């Protein structure tokens, strides 16, 4: 029984172990599928780590060939700096054909970070200290685990640049297991500013030439991630040689790595281009896909150069069975068809067949985009593409809907009628919950508007404002205005309708375009005379509405529009029917809440309305006889009392000077009118009539560029003074400075002033040579003193080394001290200036107290798009590709060795003294000869430094003659030694000891 129970318990343990292993396997396979489908991968990885205890053995998952290939391709993606590092320690067991997961993350991630939420900072500091202690261990396994932990923490934001040298040590190990960890850490942490990158070119050369494909693959992947211009120039030939490797995987990796090398070292593109194009005909399909990927990326940024490759791309398009490669080829043709119209006619058949047969949405969209961008002249396939876009517009997936709208934008100029057939679906997208779809649909609506559809389109947009959020509502307001004002109101046929639309836009809540609406109201009223009476009738109720005067976020920009409306109503006040009501609205108490410029326009408009009311009364009473005085009526007196009563007092004590000045002027005018009317009836009305005649002058619209067209008058002398009476106000400061200078030297008395000078003499006086020399001497002295104090900030002149001029001992010592102590600072500044002269990127210095936020206004004239400063990487793709434009790969090579790739050596030997006949570090010889050669090399160097550049040939001849003489002497000495007797044994031993010491 006991044995049976023990067997049962053992079977239960085995069953639980297999169950947990099956769970891990299922989760890992599901995670790989999530990588392909784009599902949430990180959540399952965390769950996978939670299932693995710290002491658990690494689970093994069987994968077939196809899965292994896809797994390693995704492992490449994961090893990028912005990728996920959770699968960094996943190894491929070649013996058992399985993938091994190392669960070291559970010890850090699960039991560490999760269990120290309160004091996470202290735990991380302790972990980093432990990693620093472990990384210096002589045990390679301990060092590897420490680098693994540092790499994982690096992905969480803890910098591991301090471990760069240890990473290089791990990369140089012979064991591929640890080498993989080192290469992964290098991919994650190395950059252009990493110093130890200078130590790894030979290591990468060795691994690239290794017979082990795993080492070569690691070196290629690492080089593609950390490539710099120097590394690319050194190793591009080694990567190029791998294009001829018998392993398809290495050829594929080398082909992809060359693209990164081209970006950092463009000179390598031309010599390697022929072999790269040959990869399009490779036997392995993965190599062909890699070559297509590289060439397509190059062609997208400079399509004109790669137009001759169109036949090869066309052949691959018609024979390819891979959707991924077909997408790349279609993208390339999308960039080439605008350059060659005949190419579009050739592509009608293949693209039409793909549109009919494919079920992949991605491939279908790329074909549609190629058609709408460069094949708009082919009516048949355009119609076919638009039919497919209709199905995409009706799709429930917002991504597909957006892509369909984006493709329709390319047809607005060439086929607007075809796009207008889907107007219903496009207007429906204005109410979509996705803002990207809304903006894209609005762009199409703006491009479809005509004279016939202007009013209906505006009504649709106005209706959508009530359902949109604030940001999109502002975009709708801007779109309505710019549709109507485009091309000088070319689409507007009824300007009264347009004014009513502008009046409705003022009442849109939380709008930020009040100033734009006000400018449009003034511009339309100035340009179109027939609508001025209607404008006064439409805009007057807006001034009377008290809700628009409330200062709130809803009426944020309404005052700007009210300012324009008050000006229009006051300027064309003769169209008003009720003057008293408008005067009451312009001087009410709530107006004082408006900004100062708006209040000043309100007060001035009140004066215009009052004078217009008086002028209309006089013309209606007396007719054309201006000599008759007409007394003031009760209605006019009421209007004057409304303005001049207590309503005007708040404006007269305003803090705004313009408001206070205009209100005081208005008060003075009204008092004068009342006094004149009290003395003689009708005289006050005559005074107001004169003011009305001044306001009756019509203002004409003037272009902003009109002043440029006016020439300056011939009799205008800009250099002449405005008035000679003001010359005594501007006296020369020379006499004052001379007096101060003389007072410092101890002179008694003061110089007598010569009187005021003419203003024109200050700019026309000529200085004597002695005065100029004195000023230059003082300036040089001041500069020398400043150099002594601030010498750290001055660059050492290049002429000092070989100038041979006489200098003082103090100046020489100071200059030597500066160059000795601050050479690093000088070199940094010289590099900074060199980068500036070459147009390179220069970092901006930080300024204390400077606010980084930019309060720039929105530029609605150029698209009303918010200017958001996005992330700008150090090595931007656009900047790197711009360097490749100058290198045409199909152009014949010019110059010696331009089109040739350098030779490849696993361990290149660089002899720095190869050109000079001196010491060779790779040669083996006697110590005495080495000493002689060193001495001679020093002498030769000294002599070469003293001789000019033109004496190099003479120096070489002298060296050859000395060598021949020494050879002759050595030959004579050997003959004499042979004739002489043999030395003693003791003497030979002493000589051998001397040689060994040497």
Percent of the chain with pLDDT over 90: 40
Structure-token pair, residue 306: 């790669």
Backbone angles phi, psi at 610, to 5 degrees: -65, -45
Of the candidate ranges 159-163, 389-393, 737-741, the one whose mean pLDDT is the lowest: 737-741
pLDDT at 850 over 80: no
Virtual torsion, Cα 416, 420, 421, 423, nearest 10 deg? 150
Contact (Cβ atoms closer than 8 angstroms) between residue 608 and residue 553: no
Strand partners, 537: none
CA 255 to chain centre: 29
Distances (CA, A) of 485 to 82, 416, 527, 858: 47, 21, 13, 18
For range 195-218, the mean pLDDT: 92
pLDDT band at 458 (very low <50, low <70, confident <90, very high): very high
> Would you say residue 564 has pLDDT above 90?
yes
Mean pLDDT of 237-250: 93
Token pair listed for 850: 């400077």
Helix (H) or strand (E) holding 222: helix 213-226
Q: What is the mean pLDDT of residues 715-733?
A: 67
Task: Please report the pLDDT score of residue 318 as a whole number.
Answer: 92
pLDDT band, residue 23 (cuts 50/70/90): low
Indicate if the pLDDT at residue 966 is higher than 90.
no
Confidence of residue 958 (pLDDT cuts 50, 70, 90): low
Q: Compute CA distances 136 → 129, 132, 151, 783, 923, whole Å.
A: 12, 7, 16, 53, 36
Number of Cα atoms under 13 Å in the Cβ half of residue 640: 21
Give yes or no for residue 812 having a pLDDT over 50.
no
Give me the pLDDT at residue 104, please. Answer: 41
Q: Is the pLDDT of residue 366 over 50?
A: yes
Angle of the 495-506 helix axis to the 470-489 helix axis, nearest 10: 160
Burial environment of residue 761 by CB neighbours within 10 A (0 to 12, 13 to 18, 19 or more): exposed
Q: How far apart are CA 31 and CA 75, in angstroms?
A: 12
Q: For residue range 755-787, what is the model confidence (pLDDT) as tens digits?
A: 455 544 544 556 777 888 888 888 888 888 877
Give CA separation, 493 vs 378, 450, 530, 535, 976, in Å.
36, 11, 13, 16, 120
Return d(Cα 239, Cα 264) in angstroms, integer. Answer: 14
Distance CA 364, CA 980 (A): 98
How far apart CA 958 and CA 963 sit, in angstroms, is: 9
Report whether 885 contacts 266 (CB < 8 A): no
895: left (phi over 0), alpha (psi -120 to 50) or beta: left
**Separation of CA 760 from chain center:** 51
Q: Measure the CA–CA gap between 181 and 144, rounded to whole angstroms.
A: 7
Asked if 300 and 306 touch (Cβ cutoff 8 Å), the reply is no
Is residue 478's pLDDT more than 70?
A: yes
User: How would you classify residue 957: left for phi > 0, otherwise alpha for psi between -120 and 50, otherwise beta?
Assistant: alpha
Residue carrying the six token digits 């590289």: 294
Q: What is the spatial distance between Cα 484 and Cα 311, in angstroms, rounded to a whole number?
A: 48
Of 265-274, 416-425, 599-608, 941-950, the one with minimum mean pLDDT is 941-950
3-state helix, strand, coil in the chain (%, to 5): 70, 0, 30
Greater pLDDT, 140 or 711:
140
Model confidence at 927: pLDDT above 80: no
Give me the mean pLDDT over the 921-946 stretch: 41
pLDDT at 118: 79
Q: Of 305, 306, 356, give the one whose Cα is nearest residue 328.
A: 306
Quote the tokens at residue 294: 């590289």
Give the model's confidence band at 722: pLDDT under 50 very low, under 70 low, under 90 confident, else very high.
confident
* CA pair distance 612, 362, nearest whole angstrom: 69
Q: Tell me how far apart the alpha carbons of residues 604 and 567 are, in angstroms, rounded to a whole number.
A: 8
Q: What are phi and psi of 91, to 5 degrees?
A: -115, 155
Instruction: Return the number of other C-beta atoms located less than 10 Å from residue 557's C-beta.
Output: 19
**Which two three-digit tokens encode residue 589?**
């108490």
| Percent of the chain residues topping a pLDDT of 70 | 63
- CA 642 – CA 166 distance, rounded (Å): 88
Question: What's the mean per-residue pLDDT of the chain?
Answer: 74
Residue 25 pLDDT > 80 = no
Higher-confidence residue of 200 and 911: namely 200
**Confidence at residue 939, expressed as pLDDT on a 0 to 100 scale:** 41
Phi, psi dihedral angles at 995 (to 5 degrees): -65, -45
The pLDDT assigned to 852 comes to 40
- pLDDT tens for each residue of 571-629: 999 999 889 999 999 999 899 999 999 999 999 999 999 999 998 888 888 777 767 78
- The predicted model gives 730-742 an average pLDDT of 49
Lowest-confidence segment of 59-63, 143-147, 257-261, 633-637 by average pLDDT: 59-63
For residues 539 and 521, the answer to whether their CB atoms sit within 8 Å is yes
Question: In the sheet where 98-101 sits, what is the strand order?
Answer: 60-62, 98-101, 90-93
**pLDDT, tens digit, 9 for 90 and up, residues 47-99:** 344 444 433 443 434 334 333 333 333 333 333 333 333 333 343 333 333 33
| pLDDT score of 705 | 79
Q: In DSSP terms, which residues pair with 91 in a beta bridge?
A: 100
Q: Is 348:381 a contact under the CB 8 Å cutoff?
A: yes
User: For 107-148, how does the pLDDT look when each residue is reduced to its tens digit (9 = 90+)?
Assistant: 444 456 777 777 888 888 888 999 999 999 999 999 999 999
Say if residue 773 is exposed, middle or buried (CB neighbours under 10 Å; 0-12, 13-18, 19+).
Answer: exposed
Is 428 a residue whose pLDDT tops 70?
Answer: yes
The Cα-based distances of 98 to 65, 67, 102, 217, 820 in angstroms read 10, 11, 13, 19, 61
Instruction: Indicate whether 345 pLDDT > 50.
Output: yes
- pLDDT tens digits for 262-296? 999 988 988 889 999 999 999 999 999 999 999 99
DSSP state letters, 524-539 = HHHH-GGGHHHHHHHH
Instruction: State the CB neighbour count (10 A cutoff) for residue 687.
Output: 17
Give the mean model confidence (pLDDT) for residues 346-369. 92
Name residue, tokens 């992947």: 221
């Amino acid at each position: 029984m006991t044995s049976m129970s023990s067997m049962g318990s053992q079977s239960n343990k085995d069953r639980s172990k297999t169950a947990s292993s099956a769970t891990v396997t299922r989760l890992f396979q599901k995670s790989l599928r999530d990588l392909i489908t784009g599902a949430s991968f990180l959540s399952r990885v965390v769950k996978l780590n939670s299932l693995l205890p710290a002491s658990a053995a690494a689970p093994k998952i069987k994968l077939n060939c196809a899965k292994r290939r896809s797994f390693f391709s995704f492992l490449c993606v994961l090893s990028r700096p912005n990728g996920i590092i959770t699968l960094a320690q996943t190894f491929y067991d070649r013996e058992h054909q399985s993938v091994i997961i190392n669960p070291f993350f559970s010890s850090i991630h699960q039991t560490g970070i999760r269990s120290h939420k309160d004091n996470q900072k202290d735990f991380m500091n302790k972990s980093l200290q432990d990693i620093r202690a472990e990384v210096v261990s002589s045990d390679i396994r301990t060092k590897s685990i420490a680098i693994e932990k540092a790499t994982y923490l690096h992905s969480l934001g803890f910098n591991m640049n301090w471990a760069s040298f240890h990473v290089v040590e791990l990369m140089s190990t012979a064991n591929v297991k640890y080498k993989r960890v080192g290469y992964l850490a290098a991919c994650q942490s190395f950059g252009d500013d990493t110093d130890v990158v200078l130590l790894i070119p030979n290591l990468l050369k060795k691994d690239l030439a290794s017979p082990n494909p795993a080492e070569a693959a690691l070196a290629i992947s690492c080089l593609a991630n950390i490539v710099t211009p120097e590394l690319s120039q050194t190793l591009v030939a080694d990567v190029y040689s791998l294009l001829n490797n018998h392993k398809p995987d290495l050829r594929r990796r080398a082909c992809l790595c060359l693209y990164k090398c081209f970006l950092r070292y463009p000179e390598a593109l031309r010599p390697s281009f022929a072999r790269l194009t040959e990869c399009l005909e490779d036997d392995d399909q993965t190599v062909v896909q890699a070559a297509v990927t590289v060439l397509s990326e190059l062609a997208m940024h400079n399509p004109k150069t790669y137009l001759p490759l169109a036949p090869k791309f066309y052949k691959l398009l018609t024979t390819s069975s891979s959707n991924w490669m077909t997408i790349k080829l279609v993208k390339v043709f999308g960039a080439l068809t605008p350059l060659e119209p005949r190419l579009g006619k050739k592509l009608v058949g293949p693209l039409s067949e793909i549109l009919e047969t494919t079920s992949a949405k991605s491939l279908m969209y790329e074909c549609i985009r190629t058609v709408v961008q460069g094949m708009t002249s082919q009516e048949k396939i355009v119609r076919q593409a638009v039919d497919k876009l209709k199905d995409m517009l009706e799709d429930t997936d917002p991504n597909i809907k957006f892509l369909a709208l984006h493709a329709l934008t390319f047809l607005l100029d060439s086929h607007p009628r075809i796009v207008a057939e889907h107007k219903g679906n496009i207007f429906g997208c204005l109410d979509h919950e996705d803002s990207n779809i809304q903006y894209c649909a609005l762009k199409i609506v703006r491009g479809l508007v005509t004279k016939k559809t202007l009013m209906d389109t505006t009504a649709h947009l106005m209706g959508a404002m009530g359902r949109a959020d604030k940001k999109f509502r502002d975009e709708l307001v801007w779109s309505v205005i710019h549709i109507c004002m485009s091309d000088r109101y070319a689409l507007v046929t009824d300007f009264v309708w347009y004014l009513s639309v502008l009046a409705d836009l003022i009442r849109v809540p939380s709008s930020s375009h009040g100033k734009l609406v006000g400018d449009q109201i003034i511009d339309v009223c100035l340009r179109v005379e027939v609508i001025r009476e209607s404008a006064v009738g439409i805009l007057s109720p807006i001034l009377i509405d008290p809700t628009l005067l409330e200062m709130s976020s809803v009426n944020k920009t309404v005052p700007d529009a009210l300012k324009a409306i008050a000006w229009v109503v006051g300027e064309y006040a003769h169209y008003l029917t009720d003057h008293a009501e408008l005067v009451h609205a312009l001087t009410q108490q709530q107006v004082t809440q408006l900004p100062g410029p708006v209040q000043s326009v309100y007060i001035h408009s009140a004066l215009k309305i009052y004078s217009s009311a008086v002028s209309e009364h006089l013309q209606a009473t007396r007719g054309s006889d201006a000599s008759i005085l007409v007394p003031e009526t009760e209605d006019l007196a009421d209007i004057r009392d409304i303005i001049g009563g207590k309503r005007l007092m708040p404006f007269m004590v305003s803090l705004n000077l313009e408001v206070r000045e205009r209100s005081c002027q208005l008060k003075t005018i009204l008092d004068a009118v009342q006094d004149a009317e009290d003395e003689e009836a009708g005289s006050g009305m005559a005074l107001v009539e004169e003011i009305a005649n001044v306001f009756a002058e019509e203002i004409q619209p003037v272009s902003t560029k009109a002043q440029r067209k006016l020439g300056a008058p011939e009799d205008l002398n800009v250099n002449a003074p405005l008035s000679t009476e003001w010359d005594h106000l501007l006296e020369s400061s020379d006499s004052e400075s001379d007096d101060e200078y003389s007072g410092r030297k101890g002179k008694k008395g003061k110089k007598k002033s010569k009187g005021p000078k003419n203003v024109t003499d200050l700019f026309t006086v000529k200085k004597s040579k002695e005065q100029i020399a004195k000023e230059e001497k003082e300036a040089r002295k001041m500069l020398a003193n400043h150099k002594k104090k601030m010498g750290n900030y001055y660059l050492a002149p290049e002429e000092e080394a070989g100038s041979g001029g006489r200098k003082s001992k103090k100046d020489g010592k100071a200059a030597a001290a500066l160059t000795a102590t601050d050479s690093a600072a000088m070199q940094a500044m010289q590099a900074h200036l060199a980068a500036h002269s070459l147009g390179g990127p220069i970092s901006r210095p930080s300024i204390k107290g400077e606010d980084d936020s930019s309060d720039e206004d929105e530029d609605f004239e150029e698209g009303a798009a918010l200017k958001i400063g996005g992330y700008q990487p150090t090595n931007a793709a656009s900047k790197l590709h711009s360097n490749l434009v100058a290198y045409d790969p199909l152009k014949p090579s010019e110059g010696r060795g331009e089109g040739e790739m350098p030779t490849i050596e696993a361990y290149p030997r660089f002899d720095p003294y190869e050109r000079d006949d001196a010491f060779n570090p790779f040669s083996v010889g006697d110590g005495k000869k080495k000493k002689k050669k060193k001495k001679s090399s020093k002498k030769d160097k000294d002599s070469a430094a003293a001789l000019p550049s033109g004496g190099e040939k003479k120096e070489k001849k002298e060296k050859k003659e000395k060598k021949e003489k020494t050879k002759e002497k050595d030959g004579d000495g050997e003959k004499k030694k042979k004739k002489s007797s043999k030395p003693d044994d003791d003497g030979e031993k002493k000589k051998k000891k001397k040689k060994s010491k040497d």
